[in-house]
Structure 1
Amino acid sequence: MHEIGVMFEVVKTVEKVAKQNGVTKIDTVVLQIGELSSMIPRYIEACYPAAVDGTLLQETKLKIEILPGNGLCRECNKVFNLIENKNKCPHCGSNHWELLCGREFKIKEIIAC
């Protein structure tokens, strides 16, 4: 499970940003995770308490937003969800597509108290 190491890095980054901006208390950290990311949201949630223990983020809430894994069909130029459609365009049946989004892992927002 590589999520714990990633979460320690997220905590360090959030603490650094908070310090640079004079923030002393944080309410919520919002992460965006793509459906096609190697990060598993439930593991991120499970790791969060250990990663924030003893830090500025100890009392914070974690919010995760899941971003869709969308592709653009190279044949008909329609956007579709890759997971829901098993990597096949539901409009024309093509397997030729370009990835638009879904591999993201971002700190979207740090909400201060």
Structure 2
Amino acid sequence: MHELGVVIGVVKKVIQVAESNQLQSVDTIVLQIGQLSSMIPTYIQTCYPAAVDGTMLEKTKLEIEILPANALCKACHQVFNIIENRSQCPHCDSDEWGLLSGKEFIIKEIIAQ
């Protein structure tokens, strides 16, 4: 489970940002995780309490937003979700596309109290 190491990295980064902005406390951390990311949201959520234990983030909430795996069809130029449509454009049935989103793993927001 490589998620624990990643979550520890997120915690270190959030603490660094909080300290450099002189935040006394953080209420919520919002992460965005793409549907095609190698990070599994359930595992991220499970690892989070261990990663924040003993830190200034110990009482923070973690929110996760899932970003869709969207692609642009090279034939008809329509945007579609490649997971929901099994990698085939629902508009023209083409399987030629370019990925627009879905591999992200982003700290979207740090909400202070």
**Band the TM-score falls in, shorter-chain normalisation:** over 0.9
Q: What are the equivalent positions in structure 2 for 1:60-99 lying under 5 Å apart?
A: 60-99=60-99
1:13 maps onto 2:13 in alignment: yes
Q: Which amino acid is 1:97 matched to?
A: W
Structure 2 spans left out of the alignment, 5+ residues: none
How high is the sequence identity, in percent, across the aligned residues?
Answer: 64
Structure 1 spans left out of the alignment, 5+ residues: none
TM-score by length of structure 1 reads 0.99
Q: In 2, distance between residues paired with 1:75 and 1:69?
A: 18
Alignment RMSD (CA, Å)? 0.4
Query: Paired residues, what number?
Result: 113
TM-score by length of structure 2 reads 0.99
Q: Aligned residue for 1:3?
A: 3
Moved over 2 A (4+): none
Q: In 1, distance between residues paired with 2:12 and 2:52?
A: 9
Q: In 1, distance between residues paired with 2:24 and 2:82?
A: 41
Q: In 2, distance between residues paired with 1:61 and 1:25?
A: 12
**Deviation string for 1:32-67 (max 9, x for gaps)?**
000010000000000000000001110000000000
